[in-house]
C-alpha cells in the first residue's frame, strides 16, 4: 500500500478540480478498488465517479448466458469457466443451480486447466466458456493453441470475449451521460497499448488516463485528468503499460480470434466488438461442434443493470438495490460478479448508507 502519497494527491485534486466533472471507469478491478478504499469519501464534491461497461460477467447478455447453460446441460459436456459466471442468473437458472442438479460444471482458474482436464478425461467434451476483454482473450488463445499442439481434440471454447474501445464509442454516441473523461483500464491497456483509445480525444474531445489499481494510482489518474487542458490519452500506470502494448499478446489474439458482433448487456449488439475463433480454428469453437438452442431470453424483472452499465443510473438509485437485490440474493449480474458495480457499492457501502 502506497498510501503516503494520498493526502498530497487529495489536496491537489481539491485545488485543481471544478464543479460538474464526471469520470467513468471501465474496468471491474477499478470499480472494486475505488469502492474498497472508499475513495468517493475523499473526493471534492465537484467530482463524480461512475462505472461503465467494464465488468466482463455483467456485460454478458442474458441470451449468451442461456447458451452457456444449454451447452452445460448436454450430457457429454463438461462446462468449465471462471468462478464468477457460476452464480450469475441466466433466464431461468444459474450454473450453480444446474451444478447442484447434477450438471457437470467445473470452475477453473486458467483456461489451461480446462485443457489439462480435457486431456485427463478424454471421454468428456470439455467446453471453456470464455468471457472477458483483451486481458483474458490472449490466455484463451494460448489455450486453444496448446490444445491443438497436444492433440487434445475434446477441448473447445464458447468465445463470449469482447474488446474494450468500441463500447466506449457506443456510449459516447448515445450521449446519455456527460462524461468529462475516462479512467482507462490498466490490465486491458497492458495488452492493447494506447492507440485504440485515441479516437476518444480526437473524435469526441474526451480525454482518458490509463490507471493502475492502488488507491493512489486512481487518484493520480484523476489529477492527470483534471489537469488536462486539451483532451488527450495519457498513461498514468507507467510501471506496467507501454504505448505499443504487448505485441506478443496482440499477435496471439489476432491469430486465434477474428472480430465478430457481440451482444452487450445495456448496449445491445455492437458490430465488430467481439472475438470469435478465426476460420482456421473453427473446429475449436463450441458453437461449431454443438447445436445450441435456447428459448426466448427472459430479463430479470425490474433489473436496471443495463442502465447501470451505461453509467446512466447510479447503483444506489436502482429501486432494487439493497432491498430485493443483494449479494446474497442477487437479481442482476452487477450484484453478483466480484467486479460488478452494484456488488462493489453494496459490499463497501458506509455503515450509515451508500457512498
Q: Rule CB under 8 A: which residues touch other proteins?
A: 1, 3, 6, 32, 35-39, 41-42, 87, 109-110, 113, 215, 327-328, 338, 346-352, 355
Nearer to other proteins, 297 or 322 (CB): 322
Least Å from the CB of residue 344 to other proteins: 11
Least Å from the CB of residue 257 to other proteins: 25
Least Å from the CB of residue 348 to other proteins: 5
Nearer to other proteins, 205 or 355 (CB): 355
Asked if 197 and 185 count as a contact pair (C-beta separation under 8 A), the reply is no
Report the C-alpha gap between 335 and 107 in whole angstroms.
Answer: 20
Nearer to other proteins, 2 or 202 (CB): 2
Least Å from the CB of residue 2 to other proteins: 11
Report the C-alpha gap between 108 and 354 in whole angstroms.
Answer: 34
Nearer to other proteins, 28 or 306 (CB): 28
Nearer to other proteins, 13 or 196 (CB): 13
Least Å from the CB of residue 215 to other proteins: 6
Alpha helices (H) in 52-206, listed in sequence order: 56-59, 62-72, 95-100, 111-120, 137-150, 165-174, 186-192, 198-204
Least Å from the CB of residue 229 to other proteins: 29
DSSP string, 18-42: -TTEEEEE--HHHHHHHHHHTGGGT
Alpha helices (H) in 193-332, listed in sequence order: 198-204, 215-227, 247-256, 286-289, 305-309
**In this structure, how many other beta carbons lie within 10 angstroms of the beta carbon of residue 321?**
24
Nearer to other proteins, 41 or 291 (CB): 41
Q: At 68, list the grid cell.
A: 452457456
Amino acid at each position: 500500500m502506497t498510501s503516503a502519497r494520498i493526502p498530497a494527491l487529495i489536496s491537489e485534486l481539491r485545488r485543481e478540480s471544478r464543479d460538474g466533472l464526471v469520470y467513468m471507469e471501465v474496468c471491474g478491478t477499478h470499480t472494486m478498488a475505488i469502492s474498497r478504499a472508499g475513495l468517493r469519501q475523499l473526493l471534492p464534491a465537484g467530482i463524480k465517479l461512475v462505472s461503465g461497461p467494464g465488468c466482463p460477467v455483467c456485460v454478458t447478455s442474458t441470451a449468451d448466458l442461456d447458451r452457456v447453460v444449454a451447452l452445460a446441460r448436454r450430457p457429454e459436456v463438461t462446462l468449465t469457466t471462471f468462478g464468477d459466471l457460476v452464480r450469475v442468473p441466466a433466464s431461468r437458472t444459474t450454473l450453480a443451480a444446474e451444478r447442484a442438479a447434477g450438471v457437470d460444471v467445473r470452475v477453473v482458474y486458467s483456461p489451461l486447466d480446462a485443457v489439462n482436464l480435457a486431456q485427463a478425461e478424454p471421454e468428456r467434451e470439455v467446453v471453456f466458456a470464455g468471457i472477458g476483454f483483451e486481458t483474458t482473450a490472449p490466455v484463451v488463445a494460448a489455450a486453444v493453441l496448446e490444445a491443438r499442439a497436444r492433440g487434445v481434440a475434446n477441448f473447445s471454447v464458447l468465445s463470449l470475449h469482447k474488446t474494450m474501445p468500441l463500447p466506449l464509442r457506443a456510449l459516447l454516441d448515445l450521449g446519455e451521460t456527460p462524461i468529462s473523461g475516462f479512467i482507462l483500464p490498466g490490465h486491458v491497456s497492458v495488452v492493447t497499448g494506447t492507440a485504440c483509445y485515441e479516437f476518444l480525444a480526437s473524435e469526441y474531445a474526451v480525454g482518458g488516463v490509463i490507471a493502475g489499481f492502488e488507491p493512489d494510482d486512481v487518484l493520480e489518474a484523476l489529477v492527470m485528468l483534471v489537469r488536462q487542458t486539451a483532451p488527450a490519452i495519457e498513461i498514468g500506470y507507467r510501471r506496467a503499460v507501454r504505448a505499443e502494448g504487448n505485441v506478443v499478446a496482440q499477435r496471439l489474439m489476432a491469430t486465434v480470434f477474428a472480430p465478430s458482433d457481440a451482444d452487450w448487456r445495456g448496449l445491445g449488439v455492437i458490430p465488430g466488438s467481439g472475438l470469435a475463433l478465426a476460420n482456421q480454428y473453427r473446429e475449436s469453437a463450441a458453437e461449431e461442434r454443438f447445436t445450441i438452442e435456447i428459448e426466448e431470453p427472459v430479463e430479470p424483472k425490474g433489473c436496471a443493470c443495463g442502465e447501470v452499465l451505461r453509467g446512466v443510473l447510479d447503483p444506489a438509485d436502482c429501486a432494487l438495490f439493497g432491498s430485493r437485490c443483494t449479494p446474497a440474493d442477487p437479481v442482476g449480474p452487477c450484484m453478483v460478479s466480484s467486479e460488478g458495480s452494484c456488488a462493489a457499492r453494496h459490499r463497501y457501502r458506509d455503515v450509515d448508507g451508500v457512498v
